[in-house]
């Protein structure tokens, strides 16, 4: 092709985004900060609204159906909790929890190791744990102690209802 001319064009397309769009990331971050932080205001604002009410304190009552169990759960459920405690301590992880569930009764919970291992009066390594027990009509906590047996198996030696202080 003789006589044709090569024309090079740059990337300029004749359109630039409005300047408003340049600040969009900053505006979005500020908006998100206001939305998320709006409920984190703390302090007493009664003086601004002229409230004369005296401050009252009291205990919180649990919702209906959340009865604390004063005795240990049935043995069938305890077997699953004990097995979970043995497995948790066998793993030897610090600050760990493991869940358990009895598929027949629907009871479930978690076992969490507490404190550090210690040596019992018999010279065995022992560990304390907390276990939750949850059913459709009740929930409670149990405190237990497990000790390592000669073959390295953890055996739950004590399990009793945990009393809240």
Q: How do residues 97-135 score in pLDDT, each as one tens digit?
A: 999 999 999 999 999 999 888 999 989 999 999 999 999
- Side-chain-side CA neighbours of 42 within 13 Å: the count stands at 1
C-alpha to C-alpha distance for 51 and 55, rounded to whole angstroms? 11
User: Tell me, what's the pLDDT at 36?
Assistant: 60
Tell whether pTM > 0.85.
no
User: Tell me, what's the pLDDT at 85?
Assistant: 93
Is the CA virtual torsion 18, 23, 29, 30 positive or negative? negative
Model confidence band, residue 163 (pLDDT cutoffs 50, 70, 90) = confident
Average model confidence (pLDDT) across the chain? 75
Write the secondary structure of 114-136 as one string of H (helix), E (strand) and C (coil): EEEEEECCCCCEEEEEEEEEECC
User: Tell me, what's the pLDDT at 113?
Assistant: 92
Tokens of 31: 């908006």
Model confidence band, residue 58 (pLDDT cutoffs 50, 70, 90) = very low
Model confidence band, residue 53 (pLDDT cutoffs 50, 70, 90) = very low
pLDDT tens-digit series, residues 20-45? 555 566 666 666 665 566 555 455 54
């Amino acid at each position: 092709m003789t006589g044709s001319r090569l024309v090079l064009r740059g990337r300029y397309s004749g359109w630039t985004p409005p300047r408003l769009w340049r600040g969009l990331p900053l505006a979005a971050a500020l908006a998100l900060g206001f939305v998320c932080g709006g409920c984190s205001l703390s302090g007493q604002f009664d003086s601004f609204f002229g409230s004369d009410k005296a401050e009252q304190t009291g205990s919180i009552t649990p919702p209906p159906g959340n009865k604390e169990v004063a005795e240990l759960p049935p043995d069938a459920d305890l077997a699953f909790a004990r097995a979970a405690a043995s497995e948790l301590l066998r793993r030897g992880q610090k600050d760990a929890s493991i869940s358990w569930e009895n598929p027949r009764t629907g009871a479930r919970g978690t076992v969490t190791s507490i404190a550090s291992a210690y040596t019992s009066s018999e010279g065995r390594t022992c560990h304390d744990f907390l276990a939750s027990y949850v059913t459709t009509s009740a929930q409670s906590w149990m405190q237990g102690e497990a000790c390592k047996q000669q073959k390295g198996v953890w055996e739950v030696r004590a399990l009793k209802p945990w009393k809240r202080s």
